[in-house]
């Protein structure tokens, strides 16, 4: 594949992926904040600089290790996690057609997932549950000729097997084992792909300027949101326009907060997150 690097102006709100990544690189402030779904109130905060670094490494990894090209379909089969969000940003920068399915969400039952895969025909599946896609796994018959990449949740995971105890087939890409080997810069410019060029289903595009009209950032929840927030945007992980909303928020130098759980099922954790991040 053609070598890639960042190249873009940060004058004014960025309009392209290279310019957005330049903006993130220059920001020490929080860009992505993740709250886990467990009872331990786990919280991980990534500055713009750290998010950009992870994204650049992922772009380099996918560019070298995958045969997927721009406009090819990719499925991200993972919960609302900061590492999955970095994969989402990298996939957008590479021009892939992306869909997101949470393995633990109600919509991930066999019939719905099978229909989504049949419609999309992804060339790559990035998943936190690779065992579901191999051998006699739940979705093993649906993978076909698609590539498979495993995503483990830890910040310092040396490999998927070390993090989870599950062995990967030799042909699967272990993101944790490979991504750290890639440099912090890419060797040639990224194409100046516009943020507005992200492919989403018809009618799902975010309203232009929606992020600019808010004073806060964007909250992404693992379950369907029940009521809008006053000053922040609100959507759910897996929404068709998820990536455009995240991009618009980052372009305004505002944070994206991932709440992996269900606000209705975890009201105390939800209220604590709202207080912590001054979300209204």
Q: Which CATH superfamily is domain 17-35+48-181+192-276 in?
A: ANL, N-terminal domain (3.40.50.12780)
Q: Are strands 43-47 and 73-77 parallel, antiparallel or unpaired?
A: unpaired
What's the pLDDT at 224? 80
Dist CA 105 CA 256 (whole Å): 21
From the centroid of its chain, how far is CA 49? Answer: 16
* Best CA proximity match to 233, nearest among 247, 223, 243, 219: 219
Residue 47 DSSP class: E
Which residue matches tokens 């998010």? 51
From the centroid of its chain, how far is CA 232? Answer: 19
What's the pLDDT at 213? 58
What's the pLDDT at 39? 66
In the chain, which residues have pLDDT < 50? 1-3, 5, 7-10, 203, 208
What's the pLDDT at 228? 86
Residue 34 bridge partners (DSSP): 44, 258
What's the pLDDT at 23? 98
Both tokens assigned to 204? 């799902």
What's the pLDDT at 120? 84
The SS3 call for residue 272 is helix
CB 250 within 8 A of CB 236: no
What's the pLDDT at 109? 64
What's the pLDDT at 215? 79
Q: Angle of helix 82-93 relative to helix 17-25, nearest 10 degrees?
A: 140
What's the pLDDT at 150? 98
Q: Angle of helix 17-25 relative to helix 242-251, nearest 10 degrees?
A: 50
Dist CA 66 CA 146 (whole Å): 10
Both tokens assigned to 139? 């979705």
What's the pLDDT at 280? 87
Dist CA 72 CA 95 (whole Å): 8
Question: What are the helix (H) ranges across 5-128?
Answer: 17-25, 48-65, 82-93, 110-120
Dist CA 149 CA 145 (whole Å): 13
What is the dihedral angle through the alpha carbons of 223, 196, 200, 147, rounded to the nearest 10 degrees?
Answer: -90
What's the pLDDT at 204? 53
Backbone angles phi, psi at 32, to 5 degrees: -140, 125
């Amino acid at each position: 594949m053609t070598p890639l690097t960042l190249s873009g102006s940060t004058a004014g709100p960025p309009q392209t992926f290279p310019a957005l990544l330049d903006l993130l690189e220059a920001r020490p402030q929080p860009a992505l904040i993740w709250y886990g779904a467990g009872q331990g109130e786990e919280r991980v905060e990534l500055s713009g600089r750290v998010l950009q670094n992870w994204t650049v490494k992922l772009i380099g990894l996918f560019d070298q290790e995958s045969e997927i090209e721009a406009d090819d379909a990719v499925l991200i089969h993972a919960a609302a996690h900061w590492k999955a969000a970095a994969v989402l940003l990298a996939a957008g920068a590479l021009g892939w057609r992306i869909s997101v399915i949470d393995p633990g969400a109600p919509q991930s039952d066999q019939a719905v997932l099978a229909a989504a895969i049949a419609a999309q025909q992804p060339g790559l599946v990035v998943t936190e549950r690779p065992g579901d896609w191999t051998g006699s796994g739940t979705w093993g018959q649906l993978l076909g000729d698609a590539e498979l990449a495993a995503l483990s949740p830890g910040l310092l995971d040396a490999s998927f097997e070390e993090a989870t105890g599950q062995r990967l087939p030799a042909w699967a890409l272990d993101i944790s084992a490979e991504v750290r080997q890639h440099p912090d810069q890419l060797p040639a410019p990224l194409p100046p792909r516009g943020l507005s060029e992200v492919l989403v289903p018809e009618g799902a595009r975010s309203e232009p300027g929606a992020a600019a009209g808010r004073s806060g950032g964007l909250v992404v929840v693992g379950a369907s949101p029940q009521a809008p927030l006053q000053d922040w945007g609100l959507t759910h992980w897996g929404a068709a326009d998820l990536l455009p909303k995240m991009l618009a928020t980052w372009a305004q130098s505002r944070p994206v907060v991932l709440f992996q759980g269900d606000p209705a099922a975890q009201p105390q954790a939800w209220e604590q997150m709202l207080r912590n991040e001054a979300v209204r």
